[in-house]
Amino acid sequence: MHWLALGTALLLAFAIIAIGTGYVASPTTATRSFGLPLPENGTNIAWWLRLKGVRDIVSGLTVLAFVAWGAPRGVGIVLLVEAIIPLGDMLLILAAKGSTKSAFGIHGLTAVLMVLAAFPMMTGTP
């Protein structure tokens, strides 16, 4: 497995786990960097935001599981499929007229890094 692609996969996995943990621990604080305005206040808003955190943690753990399993092609496939998440986030933020800086700089860049890390692992390119 190419060391740069593997390193990128591990960095992305740990980063999304950290982001998810932030959403679980302090959802309204974590939401501020997403690129959309905070949702309206309500008694259940924090719980809805924590759902995103749980899903982020599981997304990162999925990549780590495939890395631990020693399945480079599997890591690549998981990264490629999971790249749809930040791509979708970027498109939704742009459609909602949210922060273009966050849309492209956080979500778009994440999707590109995931795809770039995925292909060497899927194809076995060193």
* pLDDT tens string 16-70: 999 999 999 998 888 888 888 887 777 788 888 899 999 999 999 999 999 999 8
Residue 119's alpha-carbon distances to 8, 38, 48, 111, in angstroms, are 12, 35, 34, 13
pTM, to two decimals? 0.85
* pLDDT tens string 65-86: 999 998 889 999 999 999 999 9
